[in-house]
Chain A
Amino acid sequence: MRLGRLSKVTLGAITGLVLALIYVPLLVVLVNSFSTSKNLVWPPPGFTLEWWGKAFRNAGALEALWTSVLVALSSTIIALVLGTLISIALQRYQFFGRDTVSLLVILPIALPGIVTGIALNNAFRTILDLKLTILTVIIAHATFCIVTVFNNVLARLRRMGTNFEEASSDLGAGLWTTFRLVTFPQLRSALFAGGLLAFALSFDEIVVTTFTIGGGVETLPIWILNNLFRPNQAPVVSVIAVVLVVVSVIPIYIAQRIAGSEQTRR
């Protein structure tokens, strides 16, 4: 198939147009963060830096940000360990029930968030009689984050093959030494990519979180939800959104660099 110039230009134009449309709402948020109007009136009646100052002095938002980072980091670490274990098991071994196990891993993300949310809420509150805390949120998030690590590591293991590992054990390395010196270095960038996705997934999660978080604790999305419709807070929310998008460029760029330097070009 050789694409003509016209088809290439058309495809490029569609891509450009859709990307532009994707960014329009984000630009609206950016502009709103400077707008003097609290009700998102378009075009903005005037511009101010008031909201940016307020956002950085907003104790509730900063605390929620810290909670979110803590939750996302903890659930990412749990997901990294469990996801790596399960992907090695599924990729390197044949066993009865293998398909069921792989279905089990993707189930928490394939079932709607509301199902995961109410199932865990019910299990924690009604069955186990636990109080909902930040810990229950971490457990819930880790459960659906396993799949992102799993996918990345599984794909890497498939591509790696077993030659190096076999060579290592032929040369006398024990299982742990082989993993530490041979398998892990090859998995590192896949773990980074999977971990990054897990972090992002947890950081922005709201549906499952509303069902598993206790009173008095707020993750950033919960704080945003609670403040979105308060007229004095809406512009502050816009500021925080802008900051998050801008900051997100760094990890995505690093992940891309790692993936790009390893990938053999097509």
Chain B
Amino acid sequence: MTSKAPEADTSTPPTHPARDRVAAPSITLARRASTYLSRHARLRLAVLLSAPLLWLGLVYVAALAALLITALWTVDSFTGQISQTWTLDNIVAVVTGSLYQTVTLRTVGVAILVTIVDIVIALPIAFFMAKVASPRLQRILVIAVLMPLWASYLVKAYAWRSVLSQDGLWDFVVAPFGIESPGYGLPATVITLSYLWLPYVILPIYAGLERVPDSLLEASSDLGARTWRTLGLVVLPMLWPAIIAGSIFSFSLSLGDYITVNIVGGTNQLLGNLVYTNVGAANNLPLAASIALIPIVIMFVYLAAVRRTGALNNL
């Protein structure tokens, strides 16, 4: 198929002078397949889609479906083996249990707070990067934002543990000004998670701002709009999908985290901790699966709500 000769249906007229000197195209099997495919768009699409869809379907969708099924099974309390008796007990326990309700509210609260903190911090930085900084500075800033992503997640969480610890950096630098270190707990968890996910929120918002043409901002100003009005009426509507895209990252990543809260959260538990203990120590996979359905439902509701904004194309 690598032969340079033209295909029969698209070739130059036979009167072309060069035609005589070029060897006739060899009709290899590959070339015949290529010709056949180029005439059948549907088949081409099927070839393109089959491998990725097979992978995502077999590995991911099937796994999610299996999770739902496992949530309906139970664990034999005697042998510790999963017994495939159908029951709604686990799901009922998760929906009605006060422990699960409290932890769900706490987790969603943390995730919302982290998302708000990150968006508030990311907006001015992304704006400076996209609209004020020179191209050179812009490149440096993008690197500066990206680089912390390569430092291990765990090490960054641990760094915050050390910053917030007794006799840590916070007590050394900030406490003399009267702001005590929050210690280990939910505030420390929110701080650390916001810190960890900030680059994931800055980058889509920055990319979104890059797509807002300067000419629009100038037009708005020529038409008499002040800065805040331009921001509210021109920039924000165009930026909205990018902000939501960033929020999906920070919200979802916070919703599923159980390691940061172990490191800086004191004794507080989030949904992830409940899932983790039930998979590991408690060895109750059906219950863990039922608990995992909570973040799945929350994320599906969230994704469905933001789908129409076009945010999913901005991830």
Contacts and interface: CB of A to CB of B under 8 A. Distances in A.
Interface of A: 1-4, 7-8, 11-12, 14-15, 18-19, 22-26, 28-29, 32, 40-43, 78, 81-83, 85-86, 88-89, 93, 95, 101-116, 118-123, 126-127, 139, 142-143, 146-147, 151, 169-172, 174-177, 200, 203-204, 206-207, 210-211, 220-221, 224-225, 228, 234, 237-238, 240-241, 244-245, 247-249, 252-253, 256, 260, 265-266
Contact of A249 (B5, B127, B143): B143
Contact of B56 (A29, A42, A146): A146
Interface in B14-55: 30-31, 34-35, 37-38, 41, 44-45, 48-49, 51-53, 55
B183 to A, nearest CB: 15
Given A25-B160, A86-B48, A118-B288, A112 B272 contact: yes
B125 A15 contact: yes
Contacts of A110: 248, 252, 299, 303, 315
A93 B312 contact: no
A244 B44 CA distance: 42
Contacts of B258: 114, 207
B312 A237 contact: no
A175 B34 contact: yes
Contact of A102 (B45, B161, B312): B312
A211 B259 CA distance: 13
B142 A256 contact: yes
A147 B60 CA distance: 13
Given A29-B159, A107-B60, A118-B289, A15 B128 contact: yes
A11 B127 CA distance: 8
A266 B214 contact: yes
Contacts of A12: 128, 132
Contacts of A103: 303, 307, 312
Interface in B176-231: 195, 198, 210, 213-214, 217-218, 220-221, 225, 227, 230-231
Contacts of B2: 176-177
A93 B45 contact: yes
Nearest to A103: B312
Contacts of A206: 153-154, 259
Nearest to B124: A14
B127 A248 contact: no
Which 8 pairs between the two chains have the least Cβ-Cβ distance? A112-B256, A172-B6, A248-B150, A174-B34, A25-B159, A40-B162, A241-B155, A123-B63
B152 interface: yes
A116 to B, nearest CB: 8
B152 A104 contact: no
A241 B159 CA distance: 10
A139 B55 CA distance: 9
5 contacts: A1-B234, A42-B172, A83-B52, A123-B67, A170-B10
B121 A18 contact: yes
Given A176-B1, A220-B152, A115 B61 contact: no
B34 A43 contact: no
Interface in B59-97: 59-64, 66-67, 70, 82
Interface of B: 1-2, 4-7, 10-11, 30-31, 34-35, 37-38, 41, 44-45, 48-49, 51-53, 55-57, 59-64, 66-67, 70, 82, 121, 124-125, 127-129, 131-132, 135, 139, 141-156, 158-163, 165, 167-169, 171-172, 195, 198, 210, 213-214, 217-218, 220-221, 225, 227, 230-231, 234-235, 248, 252-253, 255-259, 263, 271-272, 275-276, 279, 285, 288-289, 292, 295-296, 299, 303, 307, 312-313, 315
A120 B135 CA distance: 43
A214 B70 CA distance: 21
Given A12-B128, A101-B49, A174-B1, A1 B155 contact: no
Contacts of B227: 1, 3-4, 7
A249 to B, nearest CB: 7
A119 B220 contact: no
Given A113-B256, A175-B34, A3 B132 contact: yes
A1 B230 contact: yes
Contact of A147 (B57, B147, B315): B315
Most buried by B among A147, A169, A228: A228
B62 A22 contact: no
A101 B49 CA distance: 9
B147 A245 contact: yes
Given A89-B48, A89-B49, A93-B41, A127 B66 contact: yes
Given A1-B220, A119-B67, A14 B45 contact: no
Given A119-B60, A122-B285, A244-B150, 4 more contacts: A40-B161, A123-B67, A240-B152, A241-B152
A25 B163 contact: yes
A189 to B, nearest CB: 15
Contacts of A249: 143, 147
A175 B296 CA distance: 41
Given A42-B169, A85-B49, A256 B252 contact: no
A60 to B, nearest CB: 15
A123 B1 contact: no
B27 to A, nearest CB: 12
